[in-house]
Amino acid sequence: MINRGYCINYLLALMVILTLNFMLPRLMPGDPLQAIYGDEAMIAMTPELKEELISRYSLDLTQAGQFRAYIGSLLRGDLGYSYYYNVPVAAVLLGSFPWTALLVGLALCISTGLGLFLGIESGYRRGRTVDRLLLGGFMWISGLPDFFVGMLLLLIFGVTLGLVPLAGAVTPYTGQGWAPALIDGLRHLALPLASLVLARLTATYLLARNTMITTMGEPFIMTARSKGCSGPAVRYRHAGRNSLLPVVTAAGLQLSHLITGALFVEIVFSYPGMGALMYNALLTRDYPLLQGILLLSAVTVLTVNLLVDLLYKRIDPRVAYAH
Amino acid sequence: MHINYWGEIKRDSLGRAGMGTLVVLALLAIGAPIVSQYQPAEYTGAIFQPPSSQYWLGTNDVGQDIWAQLLYGARTSLLIGSGAALLSTFFSVLAGGMAAVLGGFGDRVLMRAVDALIAVPPVIVAILAAAYFRPGASMLIILLSAFLWPGGARLIRSQALSVKERMHIAAARTFGSSWPYLIRRHIIPDLGPVLTAILVLNFRRAVFMEAGLSFLGVADPTVISWGKMMQQALKFSYLEVWKWWLLPAGAALSMTIAALTFTGFALEKAINPRLKK
A197 in a domain, yes or no? yes
Residue A191's pLDDT band (cuts 50, 70, 90): confident
A46 in a domain, yes or no? yes
CB contact (8 A) between residue B124 and residue A21: no
Percent of chain A topping pLDDT 70: 88
DSSP B12-66: SHHHHHHHHHHHHHHHHHHTHHHH-SS-TT---S-SSPPP-SSSTT-B-TTS-BH
Q: pLDDT at position A323, please?
A: 45
Residue A101 shares a structural domain with residue A64:
no
A303 in a domain, yes or no? yes
Is there a contact between A54 and A44 (Cβ–Cβ < 8 Å)?
no
A13 in a domain, yes or no? no
Q: Which residues of A touch B269 (CB under 8 A)?
A: none
Q: Which one of B116, B255, B257 has the shortest CB-CB distance to A13?
A: B116
* Residues of chain B predicted below pLDDT 50: 277
User: pLDDT digits over A20-64, tens only?
Assistant: 888 887 776 666 677 666 666 677 777 777 777 777 766 777 778
Q: Which one of A145, A259, A287 has the shortest CB-CB distance to B208?
A: A145
Residue A71 shares a structural domain with residue A101:
no
CB contact (8 A) between residue A16 and residue B116: yes
Mean residue pLDDT of chain A comes to: 81
Q: Which residues contact A131 (CB under 8 A, 6 or more apart)?
A: A122, A123, A125, A209
Host domain of residue A56: 18-75
Q: Which residues contact B126 (CB under 8 A, 6 or more apart)?
A: B143, B144, B147, B209, B213
Q: Residue B63, class by beta-carbon neighbours within 10 Å (0-12 exposed, 13-18 middle, 19+ buried)?
A: middle
Residue A199 shares a structural domain with residue A241:
yes
Q: Which residues of B touch A20 (CB under 8 A)?
A: 125, 128-129
User: pLDDT digits over B101-136, tens only?
Assistant: 787 888 888 888 888 888 788 888 888 888 888 888
Q: Which residues of B touch A301 (CB under 8 A)?
A: 121, 124
What's A2's DSSP letter? T
Q: pLDDT at position A173, please?
A: 64
Residue A34 shares a structural domain with residue A145:
no
Residue A165 shares a structural domain with residue A70:
no
Q: pLDDT at position B277, please?
A: 46
Residue A176 shares a structural domain with residue A60:
no
Task: Decide which of A45, A75, A105 is a domain's last residue.
Answer: A75
- Select the more confidently predicted residue: B161 or A313: B161
CATH for B11-43+53-276 is 1.10.3720.10
Nearest CA-CA distance, residue B179 and chain A, Å: 30
C-alpha angle with apex B254: A125 to A141, nearest 5 degrees? 20
Q: Which residues of B touch A298 (CB under 8 A)?
A: 120-121, 124-125
- How many domains does one find in chain A? 2
Residue A296 shares a structural domain with residue A210:
yes
Question: Residue A92: which H helix or E strand, with range?
Answer: helix A89-124
Residue A107 shares a structural domain with residue A204:
yes
Q: Residue B170, class by beta-carbon neighbours within 10 Å (0-12 exposed, 13-18 middle, 19+ buried)?
A: exposed
What's B135's DSSP letter? -
Q: pLDDT at position A261, please?
A: 87
Give the lowest-confidence range in A156-165, A211-220, A229-238. A156-165
Domain ranges in chain B are 11-43+53-276
CB contact (8 A) between residue B119 and residue A302: yes
Residue A67 shares a structural domain with residue A142:
no
Residue A114 shares a structural domain with residue A233:
yes
A91 in a domain, yes or no? no
Best residue of A148, A274, A277 to probe chain B, by most B CBs closer than 10 Å = A148
Other Cβ atoms less than 10 A from the Cβ of B72: the count is 21
- Select the more confidently predicted residue: A101 or A283: A101
Residue A292 shares a structural domain with residue A203:
yes
- A104-to-A97, A209, A302, B117 alpha-carbon distances in Å: 10, 24, 15, 23
User: pLDDT digits over A81-103, tens only?
Assistant: 777 777 888 888 888 889 899 99
Nearest CA-CA distance, residue B121 and chain A, Å: 6
Q: pLDDT at position B261, please?
A: 85
| Residue A308 scores a pLDDT above 80 | no
Whole-prediction pTM value? 0.83
Q: pLDDT at position B89, please?
A: 93
Residue A293 shares a structural domain with residue A157:
yes
A31 in a domain, yes or no? yes
CA–CA dist A284, B190 (Å, integer): 51
Residue A1's pLDDT band (cuts 50, 70, 90): very low
Mean pLDDT, residues A189-203 taken together: 88
Q: Which one of B124, B230, B257 has the shortest CB-CB distance to A298?
A: B124
Is there a contact between B248 and B233 (Cβ–Cβ < 8 Å)?
no
Q: Which residues of A touch B131 (CB under 8 A)?
A: 282, 287, 290
CB contact (8 A) between residue A282 and residue B218: yes
- Select the more confidently predicted residue: A184 or A103: A103
What's A159's DSSP letter? I
CA–CA dist B111, B178 (Å, integer): 24
Which ipTM value was assigned to this complex? 0.79
Is there a contact between B163 and B173 (Cβ–Cβ < 8 Å)?
no
| Residue A110 scores a pLDDT above 90 | yes
Q: Which one of A28, A148, A291 has the shortest CB-CB distance to B250?
A: A148
CA–CA dist B218, A270 (Å, integer): 18
Q: Residue A23, class by beta-carbon neighbours within 10 Å (0-12 exposed, 13-18 middle, 19+ buried)?
A: middle
**Which ranges in chain B belong to alpha helices (H)?**
5-11, 13-30, 32-35, 66-102, 104-119, 122-133, 137-164, 167-174, 179-182, 188-190, 192-216, 226-234, 246-271
Nearest CA-CA distance, residue A108 and chain B, Å: 17
At A188, which CATH number?
1.10.3720.10
